[in-house]
C-alpha cells in the first residue's frame, strides 16, 4: 500500500528527551585571571576600534545629511503634487459649473 501522506513517518524522533530542560542555565563563573584577561582584551579592543568608531561617526553624519536633503526633495515634491491636484480640482469644478449651466 502507498504510505499515507498525512501521517508523520517519524512519530517520535527523540525517544527520551530531557524531562525538565533548563531554559536559561547559569553561566560558569570566571576565575580572577580570566576576568583580568577579558578586561585587558576589552581595553585593547576599545583602543583598536577608535579609528573604526571615527569612520562610523563620519558615515553617520554623511547619511544624516543625505536624509535631510532627501526630506527637502520629498517635501518639495509633495508640495508640487498637492498644488497640481488643487489646480486640477479647480479646473474640474469650473468644467462642472460650465457643464451644469449650459444644460
- Reported as a single tens digit per residue, the pLDDT across 1-39 is 566 666 666 666 666 666 666 767 777 787 888 888 787
What is the rounded CA–CA span in Å between residue 100 and residue 22? 79
Task: Please indicate, yes or no, if residue 21 is contained in any of the structural domains.
Answer: no
Q: Does residue 48 fall inside a structural domain?
A: yes
Residue 70 lies in a domain: yes
Domain assignment of residue 72, given as a range: 34-102
Planar angle of CA 46, 59, 65, nearest 5 degrees: 140
- Considering its fold, how many domains does the chain have in total? 1
Q: Is residue 71 assigned to a domain? A: yes
Higher per-residue confidence, 48 vs 102: 48
Residue 38 in domain: yes
- pTM > 0.75: no
Residue 2 domain-assigned?
Answer: no
pLDDT higher than threshold 80 for residue 57: yes
**Per-residue pLDDT at 54 exceeds 80:** yes
Amino acid at each position: 500500500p502507498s504510505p499515507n501522506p498525512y501521517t508523520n513517518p517519524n512519530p517520535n524522533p527523540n525517544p527520551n528527551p530531557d524531562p525538565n530542560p533548563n531554559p536559561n542555565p547559569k553561566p560558569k563563573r570566571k576565575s580572577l585571571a580570566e576576568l583580568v584577561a577579558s578586561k585587558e582584551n576589552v581595553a585593547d579592543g576599545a583602543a583598536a576600534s577608535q579609528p573604526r568608531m571615527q569612520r562610523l561617526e563620519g558615515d553617520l553624519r554623511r547619511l544624516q545629511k543625505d536624509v535631510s536633503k532627501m526630506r527637502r526633495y520629498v517635501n518639495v515634491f509633495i508640495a508640487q503634487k498637492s498644488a497640481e491636484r488643487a489646480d486640477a480640482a479647480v479646473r474640474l469644478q469650473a468644467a462642472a459649473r460650465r457643464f451644469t449651466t449650459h444644460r
